[in-house]
Amino acid sequence: MLKQGLNTLAFLLWAGAGMAQDAKEGAGLFQDHCATCHGIEATGQGPMAGVLVIKPTNLTRLTATNNGAFPTARVAARIDGRDPLVSHGSPMPVYGDFFEGVDTAIKAPSGQPIMTSVPVADLVAYLKSIQLE
C-alpha cells in the first residue's frame, strides 16, 4: 500500500517535471554496455557481432522499420527484459536487474505511460535520438 502510494507520488512528481529522459546519459550507458554488440554507431557492427549467430539489430533503423514511429514500448521492454523473447534464448542480454534503480515512466506515442527505470529511460531517449530516416 505504502509502496504503491510512493510510486504514485513519484509518478506525479515525474509528470510534473516533464519528460525526465536524458539522452546524453543514455549515450554513455550505450557506449559502456551495448556497443560491444550493437557497435559504437549502433548500426549492429560491434566487435562481438562476428561471433553471434543472431546478429545484433541495427538500432538506428528502429523508426524506419516500424512505419516511421519509434517503437518506444518494444525497445524499453527489450532492454529491461520484460519482452518474453529475451528470456527465451535471444543473445540479447537481460538488463532489468542491472539497470534497476529509480522507477520512472516514459510516454509511448499513444500517450500511455510505460514504467521502467531511469537508466532504461535514458537509453530509450538516446536510441530515439539516433534514428535515421
Q: By C-alpha distance, which of 68, 60, 53 is closest to 39? A: 60
Measured CA to CA, the distance from residue 118 to residue 98 in angstroms comes to 12
Measured CA to CA, the distance from residue 41 to residue 125 in angstroms comes to 15
Least distance CB 15 / ligand HEC (angstroms): 25
| Cβ distance to ligand HEC smaller for residue 74 or 107 | 74
Answer yes or no: are the C-beta atoms of 38 and 48 closer than 8 Å.
no
Contact residues toward ligand HEC (CB under 6 A) are 33-34, 36-38, 48, 52, 54, 56-57, 59, 62, 74-75, 78-79, 85, 90-93, 95, 123
| Cβ distance to ligand HEC smaller for residue 15 or 85 | 85
Least distance CB 117 / ligand HEC (angstroms): 12
Q: How far is CA 83 from CA 23, 31, 40, 48, 64, in A?
A: 22, 22, 24, 22, 21
| Cβ distance to ligand HEC smaller for residue 4 or 67 | 67
Least distance CB 114 / ligand HEC (angstroms): 14
Count other Cβ atoms within 10 Å, centred on residue 66.
Answer: 14
Least distance CB 55 / ligand HEC (angstroms): 6
| Cβ distance to ligand HEC smaller for residue 46 or 105 | 46
